[in-house]
Amino acid sequence: MPETITTTSGGGDFHRPVMAAEVVVGLVTDPSGVYVDATVGGGGHSRAILRALDSRGTLIGLDRDGEALREAVALESEFPGRVILVRGAFRDLSRLMDQAMPGRDSRALRGILFDLGVSSHQIDMADRGFSYHQDGPLDMRMDRSNGVPAAEMIARVSEADLAGIIRKYGEERGARRIARSICRLRDRHGLSTTEDLRMAVADTGPSHPNKTLARVFQAVRMQVNDELSQLDSGLNSAIESLPTGGRLAVISYHSIEDRLVKVKLTALMRGCVCPPRMPVCGCGRKPQFRSVHRKALRASREEVAGNRRARSAVLRISERIRSDAII
């Protein structure tokens, strides 16, 4: 069962939110409404949203990382009675929202935010195993109370399947060569730390070592956390939950995530799913969403200069419309 977080603790510089101002402007349309931060992390985006709400506005903060939620509880003392924190994954979004506000009026829900990927805090903590810059246990789980650590996943997987993971989630051309090197090290000496994985990749002599390492670590992390399946389920739940006028904001950090988001939202904005060769629509489907901006938003040069993580961020905001609305 998802865990509701009720304790309080002090805040800290846990994670700098990306495009916080753009998120607030695009997401908050009713200062008295209910908003969901599906990746509350250290509470950066949540804090910005809460500051834009009035005394009746409520924020539900979700995260499957217990450490992130322990940091986010500082929001409860800053905004008493207006914050509900719940532990759980995207896949359980609908159930988590019902758990947070039993019997809630679905019309009160005005916006849902997904800030994808890994947080600065998670990367900086060597014992989490997300970074190739620091040596630590090869874990990579967002929720360390569930699932299989990266070292165990790599120990079980075949060389061919590992190559497929690296190719699919890392978009790495040298996936087969890298998988062969990882499995060779694994079979000879074992592979249990981020340094082990880094050395296995380095042994293949990549022309751009840091880029290749980033792709491989990303691929392993996404497999361990089932990130694309989780995102797909979470988006479906968000889309079903939002009433007319409700908005969905998604910040992606690489093309794999953004492609999934873009394809799903484009289909909802188009409506009709008939083959292009059909002269007249026969399916009768109407657009369900509209894009709030003409194109996806990117962080400003000033923000990127102060926060390198923002350089690859893509923000898409969409709004549910009436099926008979003119867009």
Q: What is the pLDDT of residue 71?
A: 86
CA distance 134 to 194: 7
Helix residue ranges, H only, the chain? 20-27, 44-51, 66-72, 74-78, 93-100, 120-124, 150-156, 159-170, 175-189, 194-202, 209-225, 227-241, 255-270, 301-306
The answer to whether the CB of 12 falls within 8 A of the CB of 306 is no
pTM (predicted TM-score): 0.89
Domains of the chain: 3-120+227-320 (3.40.50.150), 128-225 (1.10.150.170)
The answer to whether the CB of 8 falls within 8 A of the CB of 76 is yes
* Residue 5 reports pLDDT greater than 50: no
How do residues 85-137 score in pLDDT, each as one tens digit?
999 999 999 999 998 888 767 789 999 999 997 877 788 889 899 999 999 99
* Residue 29 reports pLDDT greater than 90: yes
Token pair for residue 298?
């990117």
Q: How confident is the model at residue 280 (pLDDT cuts 50, 70, 90)?
A: confident
Token pair for residue 44?
């950066």
Q: What is the pLDDT of residue 324?
A: 55
Q: What is the pLDDT of residue 37?
A: 97
Q: What is the pLDDT of residue 15?
A: 59
Treating both helix axes as pointing N-terminal to C-terminal, what angle do 227-241 and 255-270 enclose, rounded to 10 degrees? 30
Mean pLDDT over residues 181-190, rounded? 96
How do residues 46-83 score in pLDDT, each as one tens digit?
999 999 999 999 999 999 988 888 888 899 999 999 99
The answer to whether the CB of 319 falls within 8 A of the CB of 26 is no
* Residue 2 reports pLDDT greater than 50: no
Q: List phi, psi (to 5°) of 161.
A: -70, -35
* Residue 240 reports pLDDT greater than 90: yes
Mean pLDDT over residues 195-220, rounded? 96
The answer to whether the CB of 237 falls within 8 A of the CB of 94 is yes
Residue-averaged pLDDT of the chain: 90
Closest CA to 27 of 41, 37, 14: 37
* Residue 10 reports pLDDT greater than 80: no
Mean pLDDT over residues 25-40, rounded? 96
Q: What is the pLDDT of residue 38?
A: 96
Mean pLDDT over residues 149-172, rounded? 97
Report the percentage of the chain scoring pLDDT > 90: 75
Token pair for residue 190?
């074992």
* Residue 7 reports pLDDT greater than 80: no
